[in-house]
Structure 1
């Protein structure tokens, strides 16, 4: 936790309301996100119980497993979820853009022009909290290898046809969710935590209703008291008014509502199966009274299922509304300048997975080989560094965190002296810029600094540019720092107009680079040493080189 976040949390405790941590929205929000609110059954990790999902806040759809211990019913639930979710995920794969690029010929080394398809948009899934992301990952892992009736050896209990495809999509989305800055799959509590601070712990922030209580506490209540009521307030039956849907259910709900509802369903199904074992066989001499009993048994099953649906809807609807309320809060923030760039990376990731499915490639492996794991780790570290820089450039509050930590400083220019470096063939401008600052950066002499500078190229839409400088003098008592500017002044003898600040201009310098360096290249799978899955040519490396190349591009 940064110093600024700690201060914001303390201020939230004092004010009784959530305090802002950002002035802009740092995550992309789709115009048509798919909201999923999952529930799991107690006692078995990853056992689905129900899910409420949809793209319309006024028309949620519910899928449930009436008996979570019944594997057949669980597959029926997954088939219904696939039939509902896959059309949304696949609907973004048809409209594409042609992106021009170049490709090097491996034999001649010459570059040739190529065009690649990029999907114009990508899906976005929103779940209540990070535990919901973990639950979807478990579903993906448990279903993407399932055999179906179309396989050569389907086995004794083949899965419904589209269930393995759902598992592959969920695995891709949950893997992509681990890439910093990605927006294909987002937990609402994480979204809110990035933009606002509350006066409670990170664990308490995972309760979405308690988290939202800090944003708009009822009159006369502080955020802490409103959050406490959201967590613990119960009705006359002893049930929570704001069930957690975390995705674990409340033990009181399990004991007082869910268990009796499942027991009624089991009893009705047993009665129906017992009756159809003797009656309802289609015999022409069947007793009409027996047919009437079978119809009553079927009606009892439908009634028990309706009661179970009503109980689960009552639990899920409050969290469903909370997720949409969180989206309303986030949409009120203006989007950050680098959002489009990061969303383009998500679109490439989605397009790459669409192409792998179309090419008939096998499912993602259970465990990555050494090269793939190293590439994933390097890509996530690179994206985290890029995200930190972009957020600092987009948001004064994000930059303030670096200023408080001593990695950046802002001030007002007091003097600009034009000097030249005459050691080369022609003199080069190396002006000295002196500024007054109240910050306390780690400004060691000779350390490299980077000015956050709006160049003409940046104003034309090319993005922010950096101007490299070197710290040459520091006066801590007077708050004065002098820097020698080394770049960003053009190629002429005199600095280009506007490339240098003038006395009285506010400026900001960072002590970290504003462009992220690429990591060292990793060996191809065939060249991997024996210590990491070799020797070359062995069968120890399961993923083909082509799949690894795609994985490097989109972070899969």
Structure 2
């Protein structure tokens, strides 16, 4: 189950009636939906997959699909001390050494360890033997912890590597945008807002698509400003260029078909460089 599905299931639960849930459940679902929606915006810092971040800053010999496996990606980037990349990759493919990162455990672990432990827990519960029940519960906790701990450790190792990467100049501005979106949604909830729709209306979908497109364009532009190699690629395709405006008509005003003001490219608000590549020092 994805976080999007979990948010949808929780935010529509009723707090009254025969199947009532605590008030925090629909509130949690609404917040989870906000976070998953926000995560779709380019340049956001919300719910970022660590594997995606690693692939942005380190190159591996894997395909894009294989880079989604944290264990194999970390084996390429930072293999454990004393192990070669080849040995680390072999360990990453062994579910006994590197359990799968996610809610689904490996079938071998399920058959050999998890199923018998669950059976012992069920038998102890049916007999009402408190000592056996406590022992079975402890066994289950240790088994699950053993499956989670390797991934947990690798995530923090990956975060440590990412913290060594210098922050992009425009990262702070994107973070401010996330903070504003968070505050706006918090105020919206405090006003007694209804849960998000199951499906967007036609108008809502168009607005959302427009917002995602603007976010993508802004992020691509920021990447070009932050990374000279990205900017060089943009220049090679003539998507970015530099120039100086030598003539303008600041007072010119035109109207659209709907009789709305259209400042056009000669508005005083337009920067004095074409497309801003690169920005003129102030």
TM-score range with shorter-chain normalisation? 0.7 to 0.9
Q: CA deviation at 1:173?
A: 0.5
Question: Higher helix proportion, which one?
Answer: 2
TM-score normalised by structure 2 residue count: 0.82
Residues 126-185 of structure 1 deviation map (CA, whole Å, 9 limit, x = unaligned): xxxxxxxxx22221111111122xx3xx22x32234222211111111111011111121
Larger Rg: 1
CA shift at 1:227, angstroms?
2.3
Specify the alignment match of 1:19 in structure 2: none
The equivalent position to 2:44 in structure 1, one of 161, 182, 187, is 182
1:266 aligns with 2:144: no
1:143 maps to what in 2? Answer: 10
User: Unpaired segments of 5 or more residues in structure 2?
Assistant: 250-273
- Map Cα deviations across residues 16-67 of structure 1 (whole Å, 9 max, x no partner): xxxxxxxxxxxxxxxxxxxxxxxxxxxxxx2xxxxxxxxxxxxxxxxxxxxx
Matches within 5 A, 1:87-486: 135-148=2-15, 151=16, 154-155=17-18, 157-218=19-80, 223=85, 225-232=87-94, 240-272=96-128, 297-403=129-235, 405=237, 407-408=239-240, 450-456=276-282
SS at match of 1:243: coil
Question: CA distance change for structure 1 residues 299 and 404 in 2, over 3 Å: closer, same or farther?
Answer: farther
Mark the CA change 1:395 to 1:271 in structure 2 (over 3 Å): closer, same or farther. same
Any gaps of 5 or more consecutive residues in structure 1?
1-45, 47-134, 233-238, 273-296, 411-417, 425-447, 457-556
Q: Which has the higher strand share?
A: 1
What is the CA deviation profile of residues 196-236 of structure 1, one whole-angstrom value per residue up to 9, with x for unaligned ones? 2211012211111111111123578654552232122xxxx
Shift of 1:405: 4.7
The superposition leaves residues 403-457 of structure 1 with CA deviations (integer Å, 9 ceiling, x where unpaired) of 45554479xxxxxxx9x87x99xxxxxxxxxxxxxxxxxxxxxxx775303412x
Equivalent residues, number: 256
- Work out the CA distance in 2 between the residues paired with 1:261 and 1:158: 32
Residues in 2 aligned to 1:311 and 1:381: alpha-carbon distance in whole angstroms: 45
The normalised TM-score by structure 1 is 0.43
What root-mean-square deviation, in Å, do the aligned CA atoms of Structure 1 and Structure 2 show? 2.5
Gap change, CA 1:200 and 1:224, over 3 Å in 2? farther
Q: Distance in 1 between matches of 2:160 and 2:232?
A: 26
**Aligned equivalents of 2:57 and 2:232: distance in 1?**
14
Quick one: structure 1 residues 373 and 262, their matched pair in 2 at CA, closer, same or farther if it must change by over 3 Å? same
Cα gap change, 1:320 to 1:221, in 2 (>3 Å): closer
Instruction: Report SS of the residue matched to 1:268.
Output: helix
